[in-house]
């Protein structure tokens, strides 16, 4: 069969173009990526051979080999792992299988520097070979295929690749890089040794390097032999006290293909009822597809050090989907399948334990304010899904949330609920918050006026998830959450007797005005009341529920096809405000109605940021201004 020419998937071509301009300061990572792929291929075959030992009978010892050929200018990375058939090579080495890839490349910024940074996060895997090679050839034989069913795949990275059937005596894959002239330094034995020990010391498969041995007698020819250069002890099987930070960092890169260091990690070995080892990491930056529902997350699962599967989603809840790492247990059978996993009591126990581990790791990170701010900016929004998703750990997750508040006067989200409760005045019994469409809208909201005057701290929330979050949690540390927009804002003992008396008197005094307003507004409002919540604003609206829907939430619900009923507003007026005073003096009922509608529209505008009928509002504003 003659070699067939295929075009790369458009995204691969884009990726290859970008690679030429990025990662130039970090070229050596190509070797880590190729060794990681080789190690994955070995892991996959090791797993298959549990069911079918014949697959590895001829060649039972797994290995990865790295060989430099100075004369040919090639570097070959070989493994005796699972290998690929012709169809598999065409499928895997010409496309990127991640869901959402197309969108990722479409949205990639024109800014070269930014794009390069993102590409590292995206994980370039096999394609990183083209950073140093101007031709890459892959010769591979699947562990299930005969010698004459092997594949030869080759490409110079310029838009196309060729593939054909070939013959290979042994199973597994050789990746042969014809190095660019400028990259011949990677043929040097010491350079290679250095890179392998730096990046791949603690992967579980031995990596051998083809090394020259110069005899003492210089007249004799040098000899060559395979020398194992990595430690080949799976990192997580070592006692945590024997593992250096650098090793944890390198292992993370091997595991996740991330180019950056992790933000933190937790390594635990647990014996007893439930036996497992876990190594959990938090990345520094959120992956580009954190909100892509199709993206698979989850831990790598090992059973007694044998790799079983990637992306085992069963071990952590969705709100911890940014946690990377692995779990190795002796309590699941080696032949465990996804179906068994979903149904197993051991899985449930492990999930409970690992969720705790992950939350403890985040809690520890919170002790370092700077690092935690970094974490919060990347993953805070995802963590906010936690208190509702995971009622069992609600209190603990709430402790990990951070908010902006009226105390600081900035939009920095650095107040914890524990901080808030600790500085609550003795008379304060509740936790006050407000949700709005933006920080500014929250911070300047008229609903905060009295609270501010009384010096009560209010948490300011404006994330898309906030309304949903606050609508679904009741209390923290026994203190109820109360929205500043609540219908009958419960200030408890913060309301002093004197004020209450004043409010009652004011209500009596303005009874007539309130009745006139009710009549003027007709069915538009549910009720009209005199309020003590306002200081500088003439009026505000409150909904029938304790927490009013913001415009943003309304649109979201409507977009999701839900019927959102019109808000049934109560208008609250501040009789001390000059505008309300001015309105009260209006004797012409038609003009008074115009005033009433104007005040009501203004209050809705302050709350929702938009109006159903803005032109009528502007018209009546103009008329009133010209009077």
**Contact residues: ligand ATP, CB under 6 A:** 37-38, 41, 79, 81-84, 92-93, 123, 125-127, 173, 257
Question: Tokens for 463?
Answer: 């994330």
Supply the minimum distance, in Å, between the C-beta of residue 243 and ligand ATP: 23
Judged by beta carbon, residue 136 or residue 532, the one nearer ligand ATP is 136
Asked whether 608 and 438 are in contact (CB, 8 A), the reply is: no
Strands of 488-605 (E only): list them.
527-530, 539-542, 570-573
Reference 19, options 30, 31, 34; nearest CA is 30
Non-local CB neighbours of 306 within 8 Å, separated by 6+ positions: 43, 46, 47, 50, 334
Q: Is 171 or 202 the residue whose CB approaches ligand ATP more closely? A: 171
Helices (H) and strands (E) in the chain, counts: 22, 22
Q: Is 122 marked within a binding site? A: yes
379 in a known ligand binding site: no
Q: How far apart are CA 282 and CA 473, in angstroms?
A: 26
What is the DSSP secondary-structure string of 287-310?
Answer: -TTTT-TTS---EEEEETTEEEEE
Q: How far apart are CA 264 and CA 383, in angstroms?
A: 16
Q: Which residues are within 8 A (CB) of 182 and not within 5 positions of it... i.e. 6 or more apart?
A: none
544 token code pair: 């029938």
Instruction: Output b/e per residue, 507-540; b: 16+ Cβ within 10 A.
Output: eeebeebbebbbebbeeebbbbbbbbbbeebbbb
Pairing of strands 570-573, 527-530: parallel
Residue pair 380/402 in contact (Cβ under 8 Å)? The answer is: yes
Q: How far is the CB of 140 from ligand ATP (least distance, A)?
A: 6
Is there a binding annotation on residue 523? no
Minimum distance between the CB of residue 336 and ligand ATP, rounded to whole angstroms?
A: 21
Q: Is 79 annotated in some ligand binding site?
A: yes
Judged by beta carbon, residue 123 or residue 363, the one nearer ligand ATP is 123
Is residue 173 annotated as involved in ligand binding? Answer: yes
Nearest-approach distance from CB 323 to ligand ATP, in angstroms: 17
- Least gap, CB of 55 to ligand ATP (angstroms): 14
Rank residues 297 and 570 by Cβ distance to ligand ATP and give the closer one.
Answer: 297
* 278 assigned binding-site residue: no
The conformation of residue 567, written as its DSSP 8-state character, comes to P
Q: Which is nearer to ligand ATP, 93 or 540 (CB)?
A: 93
Choice between 136 and 362, CB closer to ligand ATP: 136
Cβ 233 to ligand ATP, closest distance in Å?
Answer: 22
Minimum distance from residue 37 beta carbon to ligand ATP (Å): 3
Instruction: Determine the residue with CB nearest ligand ATP.
Output: 125
In the block, which residue shows the tokens 């196309």? 160
Answer yes or no: is 124 a known binding residue: yes
**Binding residue per annotation — 103?**
no
* Nearest distance, CB of residue 54 and ligand ATP, angstroms: 19
Name which of 31 and 484 has its Cβ closer to ligand ATP.
31
User: What DSSP assignment string belongs to 137-164?
Assistant: EEEEE-TTS-GGGEEEEEE-SSSEEEEE
Q: Is 139 annotated as a binding residue?
A: no
- The answer to whether residues 205 and 38 touch, using CB atoms and an 8 Å cutoff, is yes
Q: Has 342 been labeled as part of a binding site? A: no
Sheet of 207-213, strands arranged across: 4-7, 160-166, 150-155, 133-141, 172-179, 74-79, 64-69, 207-213, 223-228
**Residue 41: CB minimum distance to ligand ATP, A:** 3
What's the angle, vertex CA 435, arms to CA 434 and CA 439, rounded to 5? 100
Question: Please, what is the minimum distance in Å from the beta carbon of residue 187 to ligand ATP?
Answer: 20
476 annotated to a ligand binding site = no
Smallest distance, ligand ATP to C-beta of residue 408, A: 40
Q: Residue 88 or 331: which CB sits closer to ligand ATP?
A: 88
Between 288 and 403, whose beta carbon lies closer to ligand ATP?
A: 288
Residue 171 and residue 146 in contact, taking contact as beta carbons nearer than 8 Å: no
Closer by beta carbon to ligand ATP, 38 or else 136: 38
Is 116 within any annotated ligand binding site?
no
307 marked ligand binding residue: no
For residue 430, give Cα distances in angstroms to 424, 458, 488: 9, 10, 14
Please list, in sequence order, all residues whose beta carbon lies within 8 angstroms of the beta carbon of residue 624, skipping any fewer than 6 positions away. Answer: 594, 595, 598
User: Is 99 marked as binding a ligand?
Assistant: yes
Which residue, 125 or 471, has its beta carbon nearer to ligand ATP?
125
Give the CA angle between residues 331, 334, 335 to the nearest 5°.
Answer: 125
Which CB sits closer to ligand ATP, 154 or 480? 154
Residue 258, marked binder: no
Cα dist from 13 to 96, 98, 154, 157, 168, whole Å: 10, 15, 15, 8, 29
What is the closest distance, in whole angstroms, from the C-beta atom of residue 534 to ligand ATP in the complex? 56
174-184 exposure pattern, b = at least 16 Cβ within 10 A, e = fewer: bbbbbbbeebe
Instruction: Enumerate the known binding-site residues.
Output: 33, 37, 79, 84, 98-100, 121-126, 173, 338
Instruction: Enumerate the known binding-site residues for ATP.
Output: 33, 37, 79, 84, 98-100, 121-126, 173, 338
């Amino acid at each position: 069969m003659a070699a067939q020419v295929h075009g790369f998937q458009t995204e691969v071509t884009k990726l290859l173009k970008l690679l030429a301009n990025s990662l130039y300061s970090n070229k050596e990572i190509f070797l880590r990526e190729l060794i990681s792929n080789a190690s994955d291929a070995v892991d996959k075959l090791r797993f298959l051979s549990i069911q079918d030992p014949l697959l590895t009978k001829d060649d039972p010892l797994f290995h990865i080999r790295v060989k430099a050929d100075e004369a040919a200018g090639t570097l070959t990375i070989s493994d005796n792992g699972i290998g690929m058939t012709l169809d598999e090579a065409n499928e895997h080495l010409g496309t990127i299988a991640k869901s959402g890839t197309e969108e990722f490349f479409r949205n990639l910024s024109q800014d070269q520097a930014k794009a390069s940074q993102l590409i590292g996060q995206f994980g370039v895997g096999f394609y990183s070979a083209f950073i140093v090679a101007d031709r890459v050839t892959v010769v591979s034989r699947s562990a299930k295929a005969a010698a004459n069913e092997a594949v030869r795949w080759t490409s110079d990275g310029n838009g196309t690749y060729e593939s054909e059937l070939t013959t290979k005596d042994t199973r597994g894959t050789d990746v042969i890089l014809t190095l660019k002239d400028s990259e011949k330094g990677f043929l040097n034995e010491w350079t290679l040794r250095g890179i392998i020990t730096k990046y791949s010391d603690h992967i579980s498969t031995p990596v051998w390097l083809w090394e020259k041995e110069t005899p003492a007698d210089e007249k004799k020819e040098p000899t060559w032999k395979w020398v194992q250069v990595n430690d080949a002890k799976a990192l997580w099987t070592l006692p945590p006290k024997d593992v250096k930070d650098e090793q944890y960092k390198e292992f993370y890169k091997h595991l996740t293909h991330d180019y950056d260091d992790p933000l933190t990690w937790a390594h635990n070995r647990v014996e007893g009822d439930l036996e497992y080892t876990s190594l959990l990491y938090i990345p520094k930056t959120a992956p580009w597809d954190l909100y892509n529902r199709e993206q698979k997350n989850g831990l790598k699962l090992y059973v007694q050090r044998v790799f079983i599967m990637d992306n085992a989603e069963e071990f952590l809840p969705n709100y911890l989907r940014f946690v990377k790492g692995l779990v190795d247990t002796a309590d699941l059978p080696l032949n465990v399948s996804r179906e068994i996993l979903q149904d197993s009591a051991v899985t449930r126990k492990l999930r409970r334990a690992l969720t705790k581990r992950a939350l403890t790791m985040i809690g520890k990170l919170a002790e370092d304010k700077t690092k935690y701010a970094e974490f919060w900016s990347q993953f805070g929004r995802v963590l906010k899904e936690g208190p509702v998703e995971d009622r069992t750990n609600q209190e603990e997750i709430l402790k990990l949330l951070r908010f902006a508040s009226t105390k600081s006067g900035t939009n920095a989200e650095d107040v914890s609920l524990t901080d808030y409760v600790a500085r609550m005045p003795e008379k304060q019994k509740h936790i006050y918050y407000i949700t709005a469409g933006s920080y500014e809208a929250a911070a300047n909201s008229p609903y905060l006026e009295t609270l501010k005057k009384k010096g009560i701290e209010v948490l300011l929330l404006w994330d898309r998830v906030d309304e949903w979050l606050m609508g679904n949690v009741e209390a923290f540390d026994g203190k109820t959450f109360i929205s500043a927009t609540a219908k009958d804002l419960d200030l408890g003992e913060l309301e002093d007797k004197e004020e209450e008396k004043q409010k009652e008197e004011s209500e009596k005094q303005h009874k007539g005005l309130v009745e006139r307003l009710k009549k003027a507004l007709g069915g538009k409002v549910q009720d009209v009341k005199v309020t003590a919540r306002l200081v500088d604003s003439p009026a505000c609206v409150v909904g029938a529920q304790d927490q009013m829907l913001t415009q943003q939430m309304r649109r979201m619900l409507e977009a999701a096809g839900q019927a959102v009923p019109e808000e049934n507003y109560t208008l609250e007026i501040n009789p001390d405000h000059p505008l309300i005073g001015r309105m009260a003096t209006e004797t012409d009922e038609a003009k008074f109605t115009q005033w009433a509608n104007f005040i009501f529209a203004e209050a809705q505008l302050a709350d929702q940021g938009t109006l159903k009928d803005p032109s009528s509002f502007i018209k009546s504003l103009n008329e009133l201004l010209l009077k």
